[in-house]
Amino acid sequence: MRRPSLPFFVVAIALVAPAHGAGPLARGDAFPAWSLVDQSGATVSSRDMAGKPYLLWFYPKAMTPGCTAEGQGLRDSFAAFQDRHVEILGVSFDAPADNKTFVAQERFPFRLLSDTDRTLAVAVGAADSTSQPVAKRISYLVGADGKVRAVYANVTPATHAKDVLADLSAR
């Protein structure tokens, strides 16, 4: 018996469809391995973060109003995060030079990482495809064991730092 072939339009769609992300991770999921370049050109990886909790906050674009407000809140609460031994790392699709300017302009005491090929963003639901122009505003609190402790999918830039710190205090 002969198998029916797929219609041409289905094959054509499959050939041109972009790679899509799997959506946001959930609490308890293992955070995928990653390696990105920071604003100074140094490579930072999940291997470097092993054994340390960290907040990985994806932001759409350096030096824009919402991203600046979010970064300022994290900067102003930096000591409270340090007291809880949580490292803050920002991630965008911006080039390291743009992130370097953003860090200098806002005096951020934390590193900003460049996911210019969007690989990590797609893997964790901060982008739907590698052609997405900017990252979604989403953050992950990753435990020292490399597992997601909290997902912040609906971030309000002005209160994000306080929201995360409230969760850390409740734990």
67, 124, 134, 155: the active-site residue: 67
Query: Does residue 67 carry a catalytic annotation?
Result: yes
For the stretch 8-27, what's the b/e string if a residue is b when 16 or more beta carbons lie within 10 angstroms of its beta carbon? eeeeeeeeeeeeebeebbee
Token pair 């972009």: residue: 18
C-alpha dist (Å) from residue 120 to 31, 36, 63, 93, 114: 10, 9, 21, 10, 10
Please choose, from the candidates 22, 19, 1, the residue with its C-alpha nearest in 3D space to the C-alpha of residue 132: 19
Beta-carbon contacts of residue 71 (< 8 Å; ≥ 6 apart): 59, 90, 102, 106, 108
Active centre residues (catalytic): 67
